[in-house]
Structure 1
């Protein structure tokens, strides 16, 4: 493509080439002739020059705002009638961006003025200091001269008195010698005659001299204090003058800019003429606000739309204190308040009002913020900690999980104060494994093997824990096969178990519950000792068990792993001693230690409610010594140990580490896995327990409210959902969970299964009462109701159903839910009729003579009137006759007479479609 010349470019721009050359020259592009080529760079330079010359590249430096306000003034005319006058106020303000060079010059001028004022103040301070020094020196000299004069006069008086007395007595006396340097008068007398008495003795003179010195010292101290006070006043005055000069300089610059930018054409009563910039002068040393705006002193008309700060007609008047303070506040420098970022400590639950109080804002602001976040709350609604922290972060503050008002902090202090002297303790061993792999048999074998060695072997099985004495030490066993307490301990982070004995049958291998036990032990971080049981059977295969356990990351020591494998037989007692030896060896490696002379700390193994004893809990002491009479805090329960039994059922006074005991005296039944702590103050234990109960209740309530808010619209749409309340009692926990899960899966949008209560055990009277109150059906899975429960069920009419197979229970509940479903309504055409003749009877109406073409016609059936295959009416038959007799139905091929209810517009040739609505039962 050929390059464009100046002439071509001028032709394209529709301008003379000479003018274009002149423009190029101004833009700094050298073009001599019209035939010179023009590049894209030349065009860009020319375009930038033209834009800059026309001011398009510069930013807008002026903004004009026009505001119009309309108001009404009621006034009375000459006749006394009220008239409404429309008043329109137009305000125009122009904001001009100042030139940076002018701002710099003004700032430099203000700084120079401030420096000059500071220099003047420094010179003034120096002159003042010199004047004060001269004045103090003159005052001191005057005091000195006055004292010398007084002393001289006293000396003369003494001398005259002495001379007068000597003239009367025939004695010789020496003249008095006055020492001017020491200001003391000494009189020498001759001892020949009587001693001469002076007018002022030496003591009086010494006292006067001391008084004079004290007065001079006091005068110097007072002078120094006066000088210090004047210096402080001078410095304060200088600082105030500097601040005033700076503010005056800034205000002078602002007023100058306003005067410069004011429009010259503005006039009228609503605008005041702008003053000159040189009218405002900085006056150092001024004590009052010299920069008041005169517009604040005027009373203006208060209009409806006025948003200004003027007080108007209702403002404070006159010379009152309120009126004077208002003007000062209005003229103060308005500084935008900085946003205060607060550290908000949030407990586990907090109400909206308390959260607003912690952030120092109104509760409505918190509610607005939560509405923006999509939550509708009230001022008294309780929020959970996570939601409250999100709200705090949303409002610009810092949120922290609160521990300030938690009395549990007392427990940390108590823990820190415990004794540090520790000794070795017995290991706590848990036996785990699959069902029917011999866990209980192994425990019985260990107990029988050691029963002859003392009382340690005699146990009561219901306590759930016991300890065994061996030649190398004691071992505490937890009888928890399949026990959920181990999971609770692991969830709470309490290391109640030191070693796990994993029992695997040599003839069965690794099963699902064996894998689950391995996962629990790995998660708890405890070592595993594998006991391969049933080694005496013929089909035992220990090598296969080892290979399967290696696949589950449990590697034997002989393969280079860390888990010892022991072949045992619970039936014959083979390998029991070796198993105990391995357990004690693992305990030595772990170096288990615990303090003894300290308040006890432990964990709940299991708990129950006894009718005669009340709340009974089995506790494993982990550290310290538990004594009868100690105050315990167990989770959200507290109490005093009234009785303490060992594993043999005998009363004991104390229990050390790794010893299981059964205690009585708690206020309620604790949960398995709760931590046990001994406190010295029962009041503190009660406070912490009540706090934990309230915290649990508040957290539960907050979560329930959150669920209600989230499901509000869903619940509104499901207003007609039918429910089937159930109470489920099973023999074991696993069956209960499986049955509850299977039944809840049957719920749909129309019918829903509600499990009111699910527990393990037999059906009791309280279960029947609960079913009667909630109108529920009781399902017993491998359980039965006692005599009292059956009588109450018969009296209240409560339905109790027993099942042995889970599928039978599921099928019957499914059938019951299907019966609760609303039936489906379907239309079924049962006949077709043709109108052959129409009769109009005055008393009856229009009657049609018809022929049944197909099907059957029944009285009170629904009917559609078809005309030219179009539906013109849908209704019901009012009467059906054959000849003169009323009939219930007319079959195909017969004639009949009929009339329709509330419809007479029928004609010959119309067809009637006869149909019925049938309800069809639905199923899940």
Structure 2
């Protein structure tokens, strides 16, 4: 390797094929370590490439690749999973080697891990209560005394006592948040559907989340004790979503239950065990250091950081040094869901752990480290890597332009979409039209979720996990959700004409996406009071909530996140008694929308402009 002079400084050069593996958000210091160079010299090289950076500043992928190319190196950005694996290997902890070394004789059966999901008010909580009360062991021990976010019940099945672990998450939002961090916790999902209500929007959301995770589903048809109950209707409705009951020749088990009357609970638990035995190989090695996932955690005034963890393999013992995400510590005490102290916990066992120095996040993986010092070092390095990656750039997800570029490079063959619209008919029509797009066998279009109403935080979470593009048809997100999407790099496309959405997706799938105009939001204003004027029509007395409102700007009116007036214009704008050209955030103003008078208090006026956006590829 030669050491050429660039900008008056000597820098080691690669031969054009030398690979440098480096993490996302690395600094010039990190890059210099990899190629054995002086970090200050790399500052000069980067300056000659037109970039200014300090030696400790986190850099984005493009800058690192450009720097590597200039010096004759092929830069490979290491994924967070690979980075964490390499970090652990540097401490002589090789998870992959552990798995490969395990033979059939080391693996022992473990209980299935089940998550209960479904529409609000369909009886999830009642069902969980009924399952708890059916636990033969809990009955002998005097019942559940505390809630730890997960619990284990023991039931009799085919003459033997079998355990089932239930994760009591607050819904599919938490389920997705855990998947976003790479935590595949659930083995089986129970989908609760009310027999008198049928399939509802959140039922579909929960179903889509479970199917995206690739877990078997058992359907619990609840409230069969009601007069208006119609379990057959539920079975028919769910066939539209690829859940075909065994009665119809499918392989999904449907169990009629009444959580209130506590009937059918034993049959439901039996269905879970039958599904587990038929579809899954649930075995783990208990004779090694524990590995698992943090399900939830909180800071308790008296006990400090309290984390509920699910052991996935190995055995966790009191006194073990553990690290969970960026939190570390020594297990001071462990409790089960009945509040009883435990000395050890095996695979699929949920326990409450005391002793961590900070609070881990839901979905963070935990492992037992050789000693306290190693646990602290792993946690500190993870924390530093996370901060650097965050500073380097926002996490960029897939956009339609990126999809075209990735398609050309052969990196991706599926485009995932989340569809949201103002009415179900429009969403169905859009879905049907998109699925009819024919681009051959090389690429596939997958709609992972569809729904009616405003774009929610849950939609953004799902798009984050599955690298999806969100299509909004006559609907918008609120400010908080838009900020989350921007932060996560989720591409949201807004349309009011179906064929424009179809055209964009089709062009993207065919790799022919043309330069587009990008809608840029200028500001939003909330209508506080409406003034009637015979000369000007209805005037919206408003307060500017974000950005600015500009006279003659394009506008639309939103009611509960749904577009009720589009293709409008701010025709008059007054501040007190004066005509003004613009009003900024925090100020009140009067807004006239010309002949459009269908406004109500609480509506949001959104202003925007169209800017040409050139394709980068």
Shorter-chain TM band: 0.5 to 0.7
Paired position in structure 1 for 2:111: 426
Is contact 1:621-1:658 (8 Å) kept? yes
Paired position in structure 2 for 1:382:
58
Between the aligned partners of 1:662 and 1:551, the Cα distance in structure 2 is 40
Aligned equivalent of 2:356, options 666, 677, 686: 666
Q: Is 1:817 the equivalent of 2:498?
A: no
Q: CA deviation at 1:736?
A: 14
2:328 maps to 638
Structure 2 SS opposite 1:583: helix
- Please give the secondary structure, in 2, of the residue aligned with 1:366: helix
Give how far 1:338 is off.
10
CA RMSD of aligned residues (A): 3.9
Q: Distance in 1 between matches of 2:93 and 2:291?
A: 13
Map of 1:660-809 to 2, 5 A cutoff? 660-703=350-393, 741-743=477-479
**Normalised TM-score (structure 2):** 0.59
Alpha carbons of structure 1 residues 499 and 743: separation in structure 2 relative to 1, 3 Å: closer
Deviation at 1:561, TM superposition (A): 1.5
More helix by share: 1
- The answer to whether the 8 A contact 2:526-2:543 is kept is no
Q: Is the 8 A contact 2:14 2:73 kept in 1?
A: no
After superposition, give the CA deviation of every residue in 1:132-161 in whole Å (9 maximum; x if it has no partner).
Answer: xxxxxxxxxxxxxxxxxxxxxxxxxxxxxx
Shift of residue 462, structure 1, vs aligned partner: 2.5
Distance 1:690 1:364, change over 3 A: closer
* Pairing of 1:32-43 with structure 2 (within 5 A): none
1:464 aligns with 2:144: no
Q: Which residue of 2 aligns with 1:486?
A: 175
Q: Which residue of 2 aligns with 1:416?
A: 97
Mapped contact 2:137–2:154 kept (Cα < 8 A): no
Deviations 1:360-417 (A, max 9, x none): 594256324542xxx4445553213453124323554212235799432246526634
In the TM superposition, residue 419 of structure 1 has moved relative to its aligned partner by 5.7
Q: CA deviation at 1:815?
A: 3.1
**Is structure 2 residue 229 aligned with structure 1 residue 540?**
yes
Aligned partners of 1:733, 1:610: CA distance in 2, in Å? 28
Does the CA contact (< 8 Å) of 1:607 and 1:618 recur in 2?
Answer: yes
Q: d(CA) in 2 for partners of 1:705 and 1:656? A: 36
Whether contact under 8 Å (2:194, 2:223) holds in the other structure is yes
Equivalent of residue 244 in structure 2, options 555, 575, 587 = 555
C-alpha distance in 2, partners of 1:918/1:819?
21
Listed one character per residue, the Cα deviations across residues 413-465 of structure 1 (whole Å, up to 9, x for unaligned) are 26634765111111111111000111111111222233576446722452121
Deviation by residue 1:863-909 (Cα, 9 ceiling, x = unmatched): xxxxxxxxxxxxxxxxxxxxxxxxxxxxxxxxxxxxxxxxxxxxxxx
Q: Quick one: distance in 2 between partners of 1:514 and 1:545? A: 11
Q: Is 1:602 aligned to residue 292 of structure 2? A: yes
Contiguous gaps of at least 5 residues in structure 2 = 1-12, 397-455, 462-475, 488-523, 530-539, 552-576, 581-588, 592-604, 606-617
Aligned to 1:626: 316
Aligned to 1:501: 190
SS at match of 1:597: coil
8 Å CA contact 1:446–1:576 kept in 2: the answer is yes
User: Aligned partners of 1:653, 1:627: CA distance in 2, in Å?
Assistant: 6
**Contact 2:297 2:306 (C-alpha < 8 Å) held by counterparts:** yes
Are 2:323 and 2:366, in contact at CA under 8 Å, matched by a contact in 1? yes
**Partner-residue secondary structure (3-state), 2:94:** helix
CA displacement at 1:345 relative to structure 2: 2.6
User: Structure 2 CA distance, aligned partners of 1:353 and 1:453?
Assistant: 57
TM-score, normalised to structure 1, is 0.40
Matched residue of 2:347: which SS?
coil
Change (3 A) 1:549 1:363: same
CA distance in 1, matches of 2:330, 2:208: 37
Contact 1:555 1:562 in 2 (8 A): yes
* d(CA) in 2 for partners of 1:393, 1:810: 54
Distance in 1 (alpha carbons) for counterparts of 2:69 and 2:32 = 13
Cα separation, 2, equivalents of 1:666 and 1:490: 23
SS at match of 1:538: coil
Contact 2:138 2:144 survives alignment (8 Å): no
Q: Tell me how far apart the structure 1 counterparts of residues 268 and 482 of structure 2 sit (CA, whole Å).
A: 49
Counterparts of 2:349 and 2:481 in 1: how far apart (Å)? 45
- Say which SS state the counterpart of residue 522 (structure 1) adopts: helix
C-alpha distance in structure 2 between counterparts of 1:696 and 1:476, whole Å: 32
Q: Residue in 2 aligned with 1:349? A: 25
SS in 2 for 1:700: helix
Matched residue of 1:383: which SS? coil
Q: Does structure 2 retain, via aligned residues, the 8 Å contact 1:367–1:378? A: no
1:367 maps to which of 43, 46, 49: 46
Which ranges of structure 1 fall in alignment gaps of 5 or more residues? 1-336, 707-731, 748-753, 756-806, 825-916
Matched, 1:528 2:264: no
Q: Is the 8 A contact 1:507 1:541 kept in 2?
A: yes
CA contact (8 A) 2:286 2:314 kept: yes
Q: How many angstroms apart in 1 are the aligned matches of 2:336 and 2:113? A: 16
> What is aligned with 1:253?
none
Distance verdict in 2 for CA 1:530–1:690, change over 3 Å: same
Q: 2:121 aligns with which of 436, 439, 453?
A: 436
Report 1 or 2 for greater relative contact order, CA contacts < 8 Å, sequence distance ≥ 6.
Answer: 2
Q: Give how far 1:517 is off.
A: 1.1
Q: Give the CA deviation at 1:537.
A: 1.1
CA distance in 2, matches of 1:746, 1:529: 34
**CA apart distance, 1:549:** 0.2
8 Å contact 2:312–2:348 — kept in the other structure? Answer: yes
Q: Distance in 1 between matches of 2:156 and 2:33?
A: 66
**Offset, 1:652:** 1.4
| Aligned-partner Cα distance in 2 for 1:819–1:690 | 38
Q: How many residues align?
A: 409
Once residues 550 and 191 of structure 2 are traced to their aligned partners in structure 1, the CA distance between those partners, rounded to angstroms, is: 56
Per-residue deviation at 1:488? 2.7
Q: Deviations over 1:525-545 (max 9, x none)?
A: 111111111111111111111
Query: Does the 8 Å contact 1:566/1:578 carry over to 2?
Result: yes
